[in-house]
Amino acid sequence: RPPSTPPLDWPTRKRIALGSARGLSYLHDHCDPKIIHRDVKAANILLDEEFEAVVGDFGLAKLMDYKDTHVTTAVRGTIGHIAPEYLSTGKSSEKTDVFGYGIMLLELITGQRAFDLARLANDDDVMLLDW
Enzyme catalytic residues: 39
- Strand 70-71 and strand 91-92: the pairing is antiparallel
Helix (H, G, I), strand (E, B) or coil at 45: strand
Cβ count within 10 A of residue 33: 11
Q: How many CA atoms within 13 Å lie on the side-chain side of 117?
A: 3
Closest-CA residue to 21 (of 108, 85, 89, 80): 108
